[in-house]
A and B are shown apart, each in its own frame.
Chain A
Amino acid sequence: MMQMSSQTAGSRWRDPAMWMAAPAVIFMLTVFVYPFIHGLILSFQPLEGGMLSNYIKFFNTENLWMTIGVTLKLALPATLINILIAVPVAYRLRHKTPYQKIATTILVIPITLGTVLIAEGMLTYFGPKGWFAHILQLLHVYEGAIRLTHNYAGVLISLVISGFPFAFLLILSYITGIDPVLPRAAATLGATPFNQFRYVILPLILPGLAMAFCLSFVQAFSVFPSAVLLGSPAGATRVISIAAYEAAFENYDYSMASAVAMIMGAVQLGVVVIVLGLRNLFYRGPVSGGKG
């Protein structure tokens, strides 16, 4: 037994279980690590100038560095809205009922539609002559011109529609993972349904919410089709991926495009690191109430 536990590095390679990870490792190397390193190196080989000239150019050109702020201004609110709506909805739907199944299915359907399809639908539905504007005007809810496409609002709505199912499914799984006896115990101790949520459910799902925030944010930050189709790609929704696209396919400057992509990745990483850093402040342990 002693010899078993003190395996040498050599014998580990002979362990067939180790090789089970091989497909995943190969996959990561070929579709993530290699392209990433390739892009990173490419970004330091600009068409003209020194090694860092792409980056210097990015931060000295207004319609390039502005894209960071524009994208953050879309991705952060969209992510927050998605999480804030998904939490109460998932909390309401936490019990297994036929009703829950139907509601979950309806809420999740947008995930199966591509962003382009959603954008197409929104262009007609939310357009100035669309159903949405018609109904609002018929009901005299809002009399003025309603512009929800080809601007910031259009992209934000599309990000909410396409991002919500993802956030909802993640959060639903966190909430249903909590031992249902815990809120019941809180109830017998005098906690109203709101306090059961505030003191028991919320603290237990906070680490999960941080994860859901990161994943949703990264998705929203790389917005491209809806920013072009539903936004104003030259102005309010000129997101960072548009800048990268322009560099690569309009200017044929792959090196610059790689630099933009690297900056995009760095911003995403920065936000994720901050959020996960905050997550460490919360309780992260088992979410059941005792020895089961």
Chain B
Amino acid sequence: MKPDFKTLRLDRVTRRFGAGKTTDAAQVAALDGLQMDIARGEFIALLGPSGCGKSTALNCIAGLLPLSDGGIYLDEQRIDTLPPEQRGFGMVFQNYALFPHMTVAKNVGFGLLMRGVPSAEIQTRVKRALDLVQLASHMNKLPGQLSGGQQQRVAIARAIVIEPPLILMDEPLSNLDAKLRLEMRSEIRRIHMELGRTTLYVTHDQDEALSLADRIVVMKDGKVQQIGTPPEVYGQPSNLAVARFMGYRNELLLDVVGQDAQSVALAGPGVNLNGIPKTRLQGRAAVSIRPEEFSIVAAGQDAANSLSARVESVEYYGRESLFMLRTQDNTRLYVRAEGQATPGETIRVAVDANRVLAYPIEQVA
């Protein structure tokens, strides 16, 4: 157990499930070769749909699941062979996992009790941790007497009071209602900044990941798809799977008609677009565009990088509307933009070439 570290290194961390030995490579890997270095003080979000392996990764790091392959290192010390109680990481569970028979103060003090901290010191440190999550007045209540948000903050206090070098959070906000989720999100960020420790945060909510994390690890089917800062992952998804997950709802299959290093020209029935090739493209390409990147071209005006489509329906969202369109080759297109259109008419929508991302057609699966 180390008080702090410079780097947490995940070296091809792999976990397989199924009958027989989990070191058998033929088994299904829930987590396949997670490789990254995490620096002290970073806030890392593991992001992906359910079943992508993000919780498996967290449990492997916490020591609740043994690895099938690879290793985990704190600086130079290998820790994946240690049982969870010797790793000393704080963990916040999805359903909080508060001890129902202990008061809030006993829950928060449990980790200190296990470390043999004198009871007077436990009291002051518990008080300080509960102050941090603004729950000091609830010290003597049982978890069952608290609301979901309060329980969640007790769980955070319990994890941070032991001053762990690394805090692991497993979808800590998924059981809260929308309003509380937003409040707690800022709370978690504030606590992370205040403690200056490292946080590893698992979520399936891209907004959460984007707003909280310094770096995001996007995962799918047990494999890392992309590791990057929120702007990188949001603006430059490395592949189609990441793009889909980050809200690129529109996918057009187009022919590649010209390409250089920085741009690619694409064409289809009634469509001529310039875009950014994410890798070398050949033949056909899959194009990803966010609904909000489009703008509606006023009738009679000319616009570069545009396409025409028929309006199917319109949902009004106040300042903007969500238009559902059909292109000439019958692909559905979502456009979120200002302006007006009525179902049945054909309109032109334009998009900045920098916001048209082209991926190899093989990634469409």
Contact = CB atoms under 8 A, between A and B. Distances in A.
A174 to B, nearest CB: 13
A204 B144 CA distance: 14
Contact of B91 (A182, A185, A286, A291): A185
A203 B101 contact: yes
A291 B83 contact: no
Interface in A269-292: 283, 285-292
A200 B143 contact: no
Contacts of A189: 85, 90, 110-111, 114, 158, 162
A179 interface: yes
A182 B95 CA distance: 10
Given A181-B97, A291-B175, A188 B114 contact: no
B97 A289 contact: yes
Contacts of B91: 185, 188
A187 B148 CA distance: 23
Contacts of A290: 93, 95-98, 143, 148, 151, 155, 175
Chain B interface size band reads 35 or more
Interface residues of A, number: 26
Contact of A190 (B85, B100, B143): B85
Contact of A283 (B101, B110, B111, B168): B101
A188 B62 contact: yes
B141 interface: no
A134 B64 CA distance: 47
B89 A289 contact: no
A81 interface: no
A50 to B, nearest CB: 52
Contact of B95 (A181, A199, A287): A181
Contacts of B143: 289-290
A191 B62 CA distance: 13
A186 interface: yes
B89 A186 contact: no
A191 B114 contact: yes
Contacts of B101: 203-204, 283, 285
A185 B93 contact: yes
A173 to B, nearest CB: 18
Given A285-B142, A290-B151, A291-B151, A191 B97 contact: no
A187 B88 contact: no
Pick the most buried of A182, A189, A291, A292: most chain B CB atoms within 10 A of its CB: A189
A192 interface: yes
Interface in B146-192: 148, 151, 155, 158-159, 162, 168, 175
Contacts of B84: 184, 187-188
A149 B158 CA distance: 56
Interface of A: 179, 181-182, 184-192, 195, 199-200, 203-204, 283, 285-292
Given A187-B63, A188-B62, A191-B110, 8 more contacts: A185-B91, A185-B99, A187-B85, A188-B91, A286-B144, A289-B93, A290-B93, A291-B151
